[in-house]
Chains A and B, each alone.
Chain A
Amino acid sequence: MAFALEISGLSKTYPNGVQALGDVSLTIHPGMYGLLGPNGAGKSTLMRTLATLQDADAGTARLGDIDVLRDKDAVRRILGYLPQDFGVYPKVSAEELLDHLARLKGLNDKATRRDVVATLLQQTNLYDVRKKALGGFSGGMRQRFGIAQALLGDPKLIIVDEPTAGLDPEERVRFHNLLADIGENVIVILSTHIVSDVSDLCAQMAIINKGRVLLTGAPQTLTARLANRVWQRAVARSELEGVKAKLPVISTRLVSGRTLVNVVSDGAPGEGFVPVDATLEDVYFAAISGRLNAASAVPQAA
């Protein structure tokens, strides 16, 4: 491994008292790294901090030789960043804006820059519309433009924040394909609250909630931790509260009008429960609800 991003003890509290990051430590190696967590978990704060847009209160982050929190310029030189919410100049064309950003990224030579811009536009399938004003782009096109600009200048650290939010399923697939093709020698941090984004793409991941890292590892390894421990049962709506009160329920969802309840338990938690294959989603919900390590659900004696 050439280099890794070492985050240690990162903390951030906003002036309004919200603790966005609390002692976050992570080691991120090249490849696709998923950062999973609900809205408001602190993902964007972490991403913005790594992208030099915000200062942390405490902690360090190192990328190879670079002190990410202090040597911002060095980070910016190798950074590709796709913010969660971004816009474009509506009257400028894709090619023009990409060229402008390329210049600002240090692609000084005109011919090279033109090549790079053209290639990226082709790769993101925007080449045909390169002369069109960005204001008319659909959400998917704009998102692809976003990834194109993030890939400018051969970045070593690519940060994409909630890139699939608001994309339709087809666009999301395309987008995944695009991300999956990014080189293996760069660090790609993908933050999302959609579990399948991570399970589809990432070799390594972390789950964070309320500013704290709950879990890290490879998705398969993490899923393995719940092997044979997830049980499922359909319950009537009226029973739901009772079940939740008694059992370590990690998730409930509606399937054809019935409520399916997933419970973590070393043994069968009760009548009607059947074991199901653990998914990353179960891991995520278990982690979020703090029940990942719950030893076993002890059925209450009647």
Chain B
Amino acid sequence: MRNALAIAGFEASTRLRRISTWVYFAVFFALAMFWVAAAGGIIKSAVISFGSGKIWVNSPYAISQTVSFLGMVGLSIIAAIMGRAVQQDFEYRVEHFFFSAPIRKWEYLGGRFAGAIVVLLIILSSIALGGLAALMLPGLDADRIGPIRPLAYILPYFTVLLPNLLVLGGIFFCVAALTRRMLPVYIGSAILLIGFLAAQGLLRDMTNKTLASLLDPFGVVATSQLTAYWSISDRNLRLVPFEGFLLWNRLVWLAIGAAIIGLTTWRFRMAQAGSSGRQRVAAPEDKSAEPMAVHAQRVVPEAVSGWRLLPRLVWLNFRETVKNIYFGVIALSGILFLVVTSSTAGDIFGTNTWPVTWQMLDLLSGTFAVFMLVIITFYAGELTWRERENRLDQIHDALPIPTWLPFLGKLLALMLVPVVLQAMLMLCGLGIQMAKGYHHYELGLYFRGLFGIELIDYWLVCVLAMTVHSLVNQKYLGHFIMIVYFIFISFAGALGFEHNLYKYGVSPTIVYSDMNGFGHFLLRTRVFQTYWALGALLLAIAAYLFWVRGTTAAWRGRVAIARRRFTVPVAALSAAGAIAMAGFGAFIFYNTNVLNQYLTADDVLARQAEYEKKYKNLADVPQPKVIAVKVAADLYPRDQRVRMRGEYTLQNKTEQPIDTIHLLIAPGDTIKIDKLEFGAPATLTDSDVPIGKRTFKLASPLPPGGTIELTFDITNGAHGFTNSGAFTDVEYNGSFVNAASMLPLIGYQPRGELTADTDRKKFGLPPSERMRDRDDPKGLAINGLSPDSDYITFETTVSTDEDQIAIAPGYLQKEWKQDGRRYFEYKMDSPIANFYAYQSGRYAVKKDRWNDVAIEVYYHPGHEYNLDRMIAATKLGLDYFTTNFGPYQHKQFRIIEFPRYQSFAQSFPNTIPYSEGIGFIARVREGNKDDIDYPYYVTAHELAHQWWGHQLVAGDVQGGTMLIETLAQYSALMVMKHKYGEEKMEKFLQYEMDRYLLGRSTEQKKELPLSRVENQPYIHYRKGSVIMYALQDYIGEDNLNRAIRSFLEEHKFKGSPYPNTTQLLAQIRAVTPPQYQYVIDDMFESIVLYDNRAKSATAKVLPDGRYEVTLKVIANKRKADELGKETEVPIADWIDIGVLDADNKPLFLEKKKLDREETQFTIVVDRKPARAGIDPYNKLIDRRPKDNTIAVDIP
């Protein structure tokens, strides 16, 4: 024991005396401090938080996140220190001293292990210290700091970091002890990282939560799952407990770690290499007698030609890199990772898509990129140090070869590594496609994606890694610098460093769409890649200049050598490279900052703030409303340009004359206004171009009821390329232009205001309500969908390229060709909301009918998979909605596919733009009980919006989106229920419940009851689904539909004033029996959460063969405030009590009134019960739905 302590002490004290230890300490201290400071609002340009600005930066949750995340970043340090603790004895060949000393094996290993753990704990303690120190910084927003709780800082160390050190550190230590090398340690760390990435990938399917939580060796996924449903208040106040997912994760990994450590202790031999474990190299017999005379060789060598030798050198280096077990292990684990994550790739509602090639590419390159970067970094180090580590460097360096040769040989060999891995990925992708029965193999696309685009990025990293290793000349420090680089490029954006001009190797995102290919993104990517390739050239030159040859290690000597190598040709090449790079840089800058406005996320917020500050005073100024729209839209797909000419008819619907009209046209340099004129004399009195605000003064005021024309000619289009994001409205194939994005809006637009309190504070705005109170008559007067109009008459002509079809709301009146362009004239026969868009593409069309309604789906050829589902959903939806709510107002219903640059479908009058990413390629397996037919659901939802949103428009008040989105959800749910049955709905609603509970935990301002929802998607969609489904279960579908129908009849097409939720709820209350009136309050007027569970269930067989089940259930009900602080409320609720058979079918299911926390029931059922419990189908909101039922014990 004493020996072990002595060894541990020696290990720790030597480490602690080394500068690198304290460099690591300082780096993590700084990272933690920086992170907390940024989230706390010190760094003005940073837009980061711990999920919500309402979460204190020193809340237990935030600390736990910081510690476990940065602890994961520390993986490389853990690997280096743990591995080196035992491997360095072999590297420095001092193992004999220890092996020959009277030390026992466990003392040697245990001592080293303990010493390294201590050192790592000291290093990683810097995370908590840095986080604490950040709180002392001046300028921290006081609202974002809570009370300091020491336990919150200490706890994550015991639940997350220390177990990580023991387990991961133990694994690294063991790998190093057994192999006596560091490379396997790094490979090990890459594989552990894969565990984490795979776990994250698996989370796309809800049913994988447990598996994913256990799979992640870092405990990060487990921690986030454990706290996933925590409200803001929980996150601020609760300590992250050591239970559930986290506890199990830790236990599993501690067991794995213990097993590995045990195995190592058993296998480890305190003996010299070669005599331990497998005999590596058999010693050949030395049969030498007296040597023969050495005759001087008369073979005169020729001059060495570097270029001739290069291919061979590259090949040798490459072979040495890939021809070993470790590379095989890496490749295999990569494949394994892909196979695991491919099972959930692209899942929506836990349902697969067809594995189309772009999706494979996303899968292959997404998280795998992390892995690739790790490999490149490691192998750059290995290659750079290969001669030196084998002590062949002096012989090698004295060879008559040019210095660039070994450098270039290694660099090119390194660059071959991603080539091989990409080829492997391609085979994987094809294999996955084949295995999933998808046989449309797009080899060309694979090549372009993997080799044409992504490989270049990896090559840039190769050059950087080699350069770092050449310059730093210290292997582990080199690795660490690379990790710092990866962290920088990953998080620079969140900290406000958004321009890609200074993020080495980074090009803006490129998105492939089946419809549009790489589209206009490709050129931008190429320009950035060229720019960085030139940067890589300069780096490579630097690497060459400082490439270590010979034994000079001091900087001064190396600089002298570099100077000598900086010959005229090298200087010329550098100069040419630098000039070319500057040229490309200037070209990029011209595009991103001159042709386009360069706005960081922070700049965008600033502009919003400015708009509010300058013009909020106009909010209540009377303005005319749009009553008629005529537009001629010309789309130029090849030029990415759209021109809209037309006129609004504005009417003064107020009771006073209007003499000033305020217009807002989306700001930005992409918009060009050629004409903006009123039909009566008016002068432009103010033009605030940066914000897009224009003010016109009418020569003679518009009297009440009077109308005036506004004529415009506005062009929007891409100008060169941008730094991030992209103008995708008009594309080669698949344009989708929402008119509101470029046409004038009338009056002040409160939607442009900042909503999050933290953002408002940052820009000096007082906190404000997001929306008007639900009963505010001012808000009720305003159309919630398009505030500057009520209903409009609409006609439009749209033109596009000759081979494309262009679509806009309305019915096709006329179609013709002229000057190589194709024209379509559409006209609406009835008034619509002022809400329309244009689409154009090379479409195939599938047509069908329901009664007298024409159904058309405009789709990309090749995306036929779900057309029938969409059409079926439309038919059943039309059937259900017309029967239950009222007639459909149009004679046509069209679905039009658009590229996956955005993933939504949107309901315009008789027209549904529908993203290729969310349904066209869904793969719903017939008869599979887990698959959810989401193309069906999305279609039904959008169809329902023709009623909820178009027939019925809500006022611009709280709860408005409940009338639109929640009712559309409800309508779609009912259509789905009739098609697929209640069981399927249970599965769907699990996802909705999950997303509601997750959504409230990242609320930026306050959670509101459903009837007061302020355009919060997690409430109006997700909670809405759950609530409405439960409601129809309580009061009956027909009753509910009756209420909804009469509400609709009362308000449809009425115009101002618009309805609110008070009116809908009144209708619903009218059909609700008295005992369920409380349900309406709970569901719509409060935030109620249940914590129900089954306590016990036993059954006995009755003499008549039936079963008598005795069931004890616990019911708990809580009300939450707007930040999720909960108070228990007494229970007096009607809740389902159920006994289920083995197939989860009810043998008994009835609502029972529970007025105590614990209630016992005795229920007789006909058949053998399997489970029983309270709210067995999870209709109520409950964070732990699984414990609602319990297996029935039949003695």
Chain A contact residues, CB within 8 Å of chain B: 14-15, 48, 51-55, 73, 76-77, 79, 81-83, 85-91, 100-101, 103-108, 112, 115-116, 119-120, 122-126, 128-129, 132-133, 135-138, 140-141, 144, 146, 149, 151, 153-154, 174, 177-178, 181-183, 185-186
Contact = CB atoms under 8 A, between A and B. Distances in A.
A63 to B, nearest CB: 14
Given A106-B304, A137-B284, A138-B286, A123 B395 contact: no
A42 to B, nearest CB: 14
B394 A83 contact: yes
B551 A53 contact: yes
A81 B394 contact: yes
Interface stretch (B295-303, B589-597, B634-642, B1083-1091): B295-303
Interface stretch (B358-366, B455-463, B554-562): B554-562
A115 B397 CA distance: 24
Interface string B544-579: 000001111010110011000000000000000000
| Chief secondary structure at chain B's binding surface | loop
B655 interface: no
19 contacts: A15-B557, A53-B550, A53-B551, A54-B550, A76-B400, A86-B391, A86-B394, A88-B390, A108-B308, A112-B299, A120-B297, A122-B292, A124-B291, A125-B291, A125-B292, A126-B288, A141-B288, A149-B395, A182-B296
Given A122-B292, A125-B292, A178-B291, A104 B298 contact: no
Contacts of A54: 550-552
Contacts of B929: none
Given A91-B281, A105-B400, A186 B296 contact: yes
A238 to B, nearest CB: 35
A90 B181 CA distance: 14
A115 B556 CA distance: 44
B296 A140 contact: no
Given A51-B394, A136-B281, A181 B303 contact: no
B312 A103 contact: yes
Contacts of A106: 301-304, 400
Contact of B288 (A51, A112, A120, A125): A125
Interface string B249-281: 000000000000000000000000000000011
Nearest to A185: B296
Interface in B302-357: 302-305, 308-309, 312, 316, 320
Nearest to A89: B390
A125 to B, nearest CB: 3
B287 A77 contact: no
B560 to A, nearest CB: 7
Given A76-B398, A85-B391, A135-B280, A55 B552 contact: yes
B1143 interface: no
Contacts of B282: 132, 136
B558 to A, nearest CB: 10
A138 B285 CA distance: 9
A238 B295 CA distance: 55
A138 B301 contact: no
A101 B305 CA distance: 14
B294 interface: yes
A53 B392 contact: no
Nearest to B324: A91
B390 A133 contact: no
Contact of A177 (B291, B297, B400, B561): B291
A107 B398 contact: no
A43 B391 CA distance: 19
Nearest to A182: B294
A15 B554 contact: yes
B333 to A, nearest CB: 23
B401 interface: yes
A120 B294 CA distance: 8
B304 A125 contact: no
Contacts of A112: 299
Contacts of A73: 400, 402
Contacts of A101: 395, 399
B388 to A, nearest CB: 9
A154 B398 CA distance: 15
B290 interface: yes
A55 B557 contact: yes
Contact of B394 (A53, A177, A181): A53
B289 interface: yes
A15 B556 contact: yes
Contact of B392 (A14, A88, A140, A181): A88
Given A108-B301, A115-B299, A182-B294, 18 more contacts: A51-B398, A53-B394, A53-B398, A53-B549, A55-B557, A83-B395, A85-B394, A87-B390, A87-B391, A90-B280, A104-B396, A112-B299, A136-B283, A137-B283, A141-B288, A174-B290, A174-B291, A181-B295
Contacts of B556: 15
A185 B390 CA distance: 33
A48 B549 CA distance: 12
B400 A123 contact: no
A73 B762 CA distance: 64
B294 A125 contact: no
B297 A103 contact: no
Contacts of B300: 153-154
A123 B303 contact: no
A137 B286 CA distance: 8
B763 to A, nearest CB: 54
Interface in B384-429: 390-392, 394-402
Contacts of B297: 116, 119-120, 151, 153-154
A83 B397 CA distance: 11
A160 B561 CA distance: 25
Contacts of A104: 304, 309, 396, 399-401
A64 B399 CA distance: 20
B468 to A, nearest CB: 23
Given A83-B394, A186-B296, A77 B291 contact: no
B561 to A, nearest CB: 7
B293 interface: yes
Contact of B304 (A105, A138, A178): A105
A146 B392 CA distance: 10
A77 B302 CA distance: 9
B288 A144 contact: yes
Given A55-B561, A123-B293, A128-B287, A89 B392 contact: yes
Contacts of A151: 294, 297
A129 B285 contact: yes
A117 B284 CA distance: 19
Contact of B302 (A108, A174, A185): A108
A90 B401 CA distance: 23
A126 B397 CA distance: 24
Interface string B106-123: 000000000000000000
Contacts of A181: 291, 293-295
Contacts of B296: 154, 182-183, 185-186
A290 to B, nearest CB: 30
B328 to A, nearest CB: 15
A14 B556 CA distance: 11
B816 to A, nearest CB: 74
Contacts of B560: 55
A77 B284 contact: no
A182 B395 CA distance: 19
A269 to B, nearest CB: 44
Given A124-B291, A137-B283, A154 B395 contact: no
Contact of B291 (A119, A123, A133, A146): A123
Nearest to A131: B284
A154 B299 contact: yes
Contacts of B301: 77, 105-108, 153-154
B280 A125 contact: no
Residue of B298, B400, B550 with most partner-chain A CB within 10 A: B400
A54 B289 CA distance: 37
A48 B291 contact: no
Given A52-B398, A125-B288, A129-B285, A153 B299 contact: yes
